[in-house]
Structure 1
């Protein structure tokens, strides 16, 4: 039994697509979200986390920094943005607390605010979304994207799914980004 050349090409194409993250496949078929219609929902800053609410994650970073996410701050918005409070702790003990968002569909992140020592937030002046970059300075975000927030390039269903992935050390549907 022989298969027509067009059918064979289609089968090979589908097999190749199977290995791609879902976000890529959706964009190839025009199923990805329409950027011109995307609207970010209104964002309110969360309460600053208590010392015991931080969850450490392996950022696969070459830096000596340690990285934590506040589990209580995790949210998956109807606008397709995962929002979270991040703690970067330097080897010497300096701490930087930031409220950030990540868009799985575009592989972008943005800073909403930075915490002050008096327990208040300072709103970021930059409202732009930035592309994720894999390097020493951005490795923690790439890890959050690939291993916890956006397995296979597709946004997690809800904050519970993200928290479960963090607790397990990675998402079961993880694909290389």
Structure 2
């Protein structure tokens, strides 16, 4: 005999699993390198930055450190990398900064240099691309990519003006 409730109890988890598998496959496709011939251009030197006009990142409420992007440091390279300076301020008022790049098509971030609270840059000896979902001390790059830097999470925003507009929302 046909029991609709029994079929529904069996089908619901199966359909949910199929949906999760489909979503996972689509997300993996979004972060797969789209051009095996792609090559990153040499990163410029860390730019001077200002803490006066920072555009805040919308971090989760449990994150006590404040993150802001200096709009004057934003650039989108012909290699598709969104480069920027992110400034951090902890609860005691200490300020640090990082010069980073985001590769939207692969969901990766690279830190090129770090500045101390006096604004003195220290370049990273061998910067490496890291996936946003790695176990990082902070998810600020992922938040920035979703909030403004990446258009549809697959490509860089079309202009720095679009990124600034999205950050101001």
* Residues 127/25 of structure 1: CA separation in 2 closer, same or farther (3 Å cut): closer
On the 8 A contact 1:24/1:153 being kept in 2, the answer is no
**1:92 aligned to 2:92?**
yes
- Look up the SS of the partner of 1:52 in the other structure: coil
CA root-mean-square deviation: 2.6
List runs of 5+ in structure 1 lacking aligned partners: 1-15, 169-177
* Residues 153/134 of structure 1: CA separation in 2 closer, same or farther (3 Å cut): same
Residue 58 of structure 1 and its aligned partner are, at CA, apart by: 1.3
List runs of 5+ in structure 2 lacking aligned partners: 1-21
How many Å separate the matches in 1 of 2:31 and 2:115?
37
Report how many aligned residue pairs link the two structures.
145
Which residue of the partner structure matches residue 165 of structure 1? 166
On the 8 A contact 1:74/1:83 being kept in 2, the answer is yes
- Look up the SS of the partner of 2:152 in the other structure: helix
Which residue of the partner structure matches residue 129 of structure 1? 129
- Look up the SS of the partner of 1:43 in the other structure: coil
* TM-score normalised by length of structure 1: 0.71
* Residues 75/131 of structure 1: CA separation in 2 closer, same or farther (3 Å cut): same
Which residue of the partner structure matches residue 13 of structure 1? none
On the 8 A contact 2:96/2:117 being kept in 1, the answer is no
* Residues 58/125 of structure 1: CA separation in 2 closer, same or farther (3 Å cut): same
Structure with higher Rg: it is 2
How many Å separate the matches in 2 of 1:24 and 1:122?
35
Residue 63 of structure 1 and its aligned partner are, at CA, apart by: 1.7
